[in-house]
Amino acid sequence: MDFSYILNHLGEDRDNYFGSVSPPIIQTSNFAFKSLSEFRASMGNEFSTHMYTRGNNPTVQILRKKLAALESAEDCLVFSSGSGAIANAVLSQVQQGDHIVCVKSAYTWTNKLLKDFLPRFGVQTTFVDGRDLVAMEDAIHENTRVLFLESPTSMHMELQDLEACAKIAKKHNLISIIDNSYASPIYQRPIELGIDIITHSGTKYINGHSDIVCGVVCASKEIISEVFANEYMTLGGIIAPHDAAQVIRGLRTLPLRIKQSDESTKKICAFLAEHPAVEKIYYPHHPSFPQYELAQKQMSGCGGLFAVKFKTDSQEKMEAFFNKLNRFLLAVSWGGHESLVLPAIALYNIPGKEKSDMPVGFVRFYIGLEDVDVLIEDLREAIAEM
Ligand SMILES: *Cc1c(COP(=O)(O)O)cnc(C)c1O
């Protein structure tokens, strides 16, 4: 895969804009036609022409070409959020009376879509442990249409065997969808393993600077043209041309950024694994991970997202640890330049929410682009406070 060509050149028609190295932001809502016949032709074929920016916009199209190529997909659409992308992808494949099989512990708002939102329209979901392929196949009924995967998941980093899942989906005539945000197209390439649709939170690695919210759906031309003509145009959850230009800029450094996160995370996991305060590490490319072999097989790298269970049941000790950390921000999300921590205890005792089943000592970490030695020193000092 020639990532360099895709990220530096593909989709950029520089002759059309004065040789400009960076593409112009075509900041327009609509496009004028030279003749009535051209206008009429576009009316009948909005997918392949420029009529209105809720459909096509040239800046967004550059981004689409790059993202599709990164995933070995024929085409893609970009949305104003990852959740929007997931909702569009799922909605495009179901109708009233249909059934979905989805992995347990998928992203919060994926879960909400499948558990609370779609049942209002007569679409039911069965949630299965994605590590158990027998349970997955058993959950498939006559009316099942979609197999929804997220591998690894973003809290406990559980994997599904993508090649095996794609086979199950084909055998039962299902559309397989995967949320590929964790590994990014640099480290995991689901279409090459037989998966039909890929979604991303572009907010994470793809933009990578914690300044844009966006989402991606990659698939065959046939699927994408259908989504375009239906969900995309109707629900209107598009990315703005200016944001698309920012994401193109973010993409230029995607392989460098994720590689840096990956290398630093491996060093930090090695440090933590040796530390007496640590009970368990959840990182697919750490040798202690139960699905280590599968992770090696289907992911060429792992990036910066992992979790740790510390050997303590004391909220006070965990609070002392978080209060001492200097170089990690307390925040959701991940995939940007900055290192983050998401404590399980931040999810405790929230009015109106189900009780969290994560133990006191559980913490999700994201490792950004800082000097790894500085991060390790910060962790060493904060753990000493526990
Ligand atoms: C953040 C995230 C999403 C949602 O993306 P947004 O861009 O925040 O809407 C979906 N899946 C995973 C795994 C995520 O981490």
Q: Mean pLDDT, consecutive 10-residue segments, the chain of 386 residues?
A: 96 96 97 97 95 98 98 98 98 98 96 98 98 98 98 97 98 98 98 98 98 98 98 98 98 98 98 97 98 98 98 97 97 98 94 87 98 98 96
Total domain count, the chain? 2
Q: What pLDDT, on the 0 to 100 scale, is given for residue 352? A: 85
Predicted local distance difference test score (pLDDT) of residue 354:
79
**Are 90 and 221 members of one domain?**
yes
One domain for residues 104 and 230: yes
CB 23 within 8 A of CB 248: yes
**Which atom of ligand 1 lies at the shortest distance from residue 332's CA?**
1
What pTM was estimated for this model as a whole?
Answer: 0.97
pLDDT, position 204: 98
Q: Is the CB of 154 under 6 A from ligand 1?
A: yes
CB within 8 Å of 239: residues ≥ 6 apart: 60, 63, 78, 79, 80, 214, 247
Tell me what pLDDT residue 258 has: 98
Amino acid 104: pLDDT: 95
Which pLDDT value is given to residue 355? 78
pLDDT at 255: 98
Q: Do 245 and 264 lie in a common domain?
A: no
* Distance from C-alpha of 278 to C-alpha of 310, rounded to nearest angstrom: 4
Same domain as 328, residue 185: no
Question: Residue 295's domain is classified under what CATH number?
Answer: 3.90.1150.10
DSSP string, 140-167: --TTEEEEEEESS-SSS-----HHHHHH
Q: From the CB of 215, is ligand 1 less than 6 Å away?
A: yes
Say yes or no: 14 and 163 in one domain.
yes
Residue 43 CB neighbours (<10 A): 11
Q: Which amino acid, residue 226?
A: E
Range of the domain at 264: 254-384
Per-residue pLDDT, 239: 98
CB distance 179 to ligand 1 below 6 Å: yes
Which atom of ligand 1 is nearest the CA belonging to 204?
1
